[in-house]
Each structure stands twice: as structure tokens, then as C-alpha cells.
């Protein structure tokens, strides 16, 4: 299955590079994953949506930390199935989606709520599906190679790392870090950074 994954575009930043990357896609795309911080305003988000809405019949998205008007975006971007602390089955995969949070808890109750959501969903994930976690914030400080150490608590949370290692999803997609490596593994689990900056474009890969 051919998929695209895109996070931290921060449109209209990188507009030229984004369109160039989009124009290079010629084959049929089975699934497009959106990992948050797509655009710097709702207006810009809708402009990006116009570019991507016909790239694939199947688009699954989560929100980042800069997207504030969630309901307006949901209502205007009908072709995107948003997972906002929720899950959905596609083909043989169970996608679990959340914005996540960092150890610099700007909202303690929301942080605890999201950690609990990920823990419960991963624990109860059905074994007849491959489980894929979509999370905007970096799910482990160990992934922050290339970032300043002082930024770790703003970008990531150790709470998610522990839960992920215990429950072993098949793949974790994340964003939020512009400098971390595109692919790293922890305890044999692949962690894929979808940031436009980290990949110098839209990430393209195959899922088995």
C-alpha cells in the first residue's frame, strides 16, 4: 500500500517546496496521512486542503499544536477523516490518532487525558489488525537527535514512550520536531518523523 505522510509544513512557509514535492507524485496513493501543523492559520489550512484533497481517496489526519479552529477545519475539509483522540480501521490497520502532549504541561488535565487515551487504545487494540499510532508531539525524548536538549520537555513526553514500549504498536508516526531523523527505532518499534523539514518534502513509503 502506497502512502504519503506530511506534518509540520507550516504553510505558507515552504509553499514552493511543497508544491514541487506534490508535483513529483505520479503514482496512485492509497492513503495520505496528515500529522498536524499543516498551516499557520485556518485560511492557509484550507488552501493546503485544496491542493491535497484529490491526491488520494483516503486521507486520515490529526491536529497539531497550532491548529486552533478544529471544528471549522473539520467542517470545511470533509475528505479528511480526523482522528482527534479517536481511532479508525482502514484496510488491515487500526489507526489511533491524537495530538499528544509534552512534558512541559501547559494543560495538566489535557496531558493526562491524552496519555490515558493512548494507553487504553493501545492496550485494547484488536490483534487481527496492525496497529499504527499517529501522534503530533514527539512520543519519546530519545528521538530528539539533532534538537537542542533544552527543548526536549517542550517537544516530547516520556509518558508516551513507556506506554508504546509496553504495548508495541506496529508503527508510530509523529511530527513536531523539525530536526529529528526521519526513521528511528526504540525496542524494535519504528518511529517515523513526518515533518516536512526533516524529510525535505512529503514523505512517501509503502506499508505491507
Quick check: 133 and 96 in contact, CB under 8 A?
A: yes
What's the confidence (pLDDT) of residue 79? 97
Residue 41, pLDDT > 90, answer: yes
What's the confidence (pLDDT) of residue 133? 98
- Determine the Cα–Cα distance for residues 123 and 164; give it in Å rounded to an integer: 10
pLDDT digit string (tens) for 77-125?
A: 999 999 999 999 999 999 999 999 998 877 889 999 999 999 999 998 8
Which is nearest to 66 in space by CA: 112, 109, 23, 106?
Answer: 106
What's the confidence (pLDDT) of residue 94? 97
pLDDT digit string (tens) for 145-192?
A: 988 888 888 999 999 999 999 999 999 999 999 999 999 999 999 999
pLDDT digit string (tens) for 113-153?
A: 999 999 999 998 877 899 999 999 999 999 999 888 888 88
Which is nearest to 130 in space by CA: 56, 16, 37, 207?
Answer: 207
Angle (CA) 136 81 158, round 5°: 20
- Here the CATH number for the domain that contains residue 127 is 3.60.21.10
191 contacts: CB under 8 Å, gap ≥ 6: 139, 140, 143, 172, 174, 183, 184, 185
What's the confidence (pLDDT) of residue 179? 92
Range of the domain at 87: 2-206
Three-state DSSP state, 30: coil
What's the confidence (pLDDT) of residue 104? 85
What's the confidence (pLDDT) of residue 146? 85
Residue 48, pLDDT > 90, answer: yes
- The predicted model scores a pTM of 0.96
128 contacts: CB under 8 Å, gap ≥ 6: none
Residue 13, pLDDT > 90, answer: yes
State the total domains in the chain: 1
Look at phi and psi of residue 146 and say left if phi exceeds 0, alpha if psi is from -120 to 50, else beta: left
Q: Please, is 46 exposed, middle or buried when counting C-beta atoms within 10 Å of its C-beta (0-12, 13-18, 19+)?
A: middle
Amino acid at each position: 500500500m502506497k502512502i504519503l505522510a506530511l506534518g509540520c509544513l507550516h504553510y505558507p512557509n515552504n509553499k514552493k517546496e511543497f508544491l514541487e514535492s506534490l508535483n513529483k507524485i505520479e503514482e496512485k496513493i492509497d492513503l495520505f496521512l496528515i500529522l498536524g501543523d499543516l498551516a499557520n492559520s485556518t485560511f492557509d489550512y484550507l488552501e493546503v486542503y485544496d491542493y491535497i484533497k484529490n491526491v488520494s481517496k483516503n486521507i486520515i489526519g490529526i491536529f497539531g499544536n497550532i491548529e486552533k479552529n478544529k471544528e471549522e477545519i473539520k467542517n470545511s475539509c470533509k475528505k479528511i477523516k480526523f482522528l482527534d483522540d479517536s481511532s479508525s480501521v482502514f484496510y488491515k490497520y487500526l489507526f489511533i490518532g491524537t495530538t499528544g502532549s509534552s512534558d512541559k504541561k501547559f494543560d495538566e488535565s489535557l496531558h493526562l487525558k491524552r496519555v490515558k487515551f493512548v494507553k487504553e487504545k493501545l492496550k485494547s487494540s484488536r490483534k487481527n489488525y496492525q496497529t499504527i499510532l499517529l501522534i503530533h508531539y514527539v512520543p519519546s525524548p530519545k528521538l530528539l537527535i539533532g534538537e537542542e536538549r533544552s527543548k526536549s520537555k517542550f517537544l516530547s513526553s516520556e509518558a508516551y514512550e513507556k506506554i508504546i514500549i509496553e504495548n508495541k504498536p506496529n508503527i508510530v508516526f509523529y511530527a513536531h520536531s523539525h530536526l529529528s531523523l526521519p526513521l528511528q527505532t526504540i525496542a524494535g518499534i519504528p518511529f517515523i518523523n513526518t515533518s516536512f523539514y526533516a524529510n525535505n518534502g512529503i514523505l512517501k513509503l509503502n506499508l505491507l
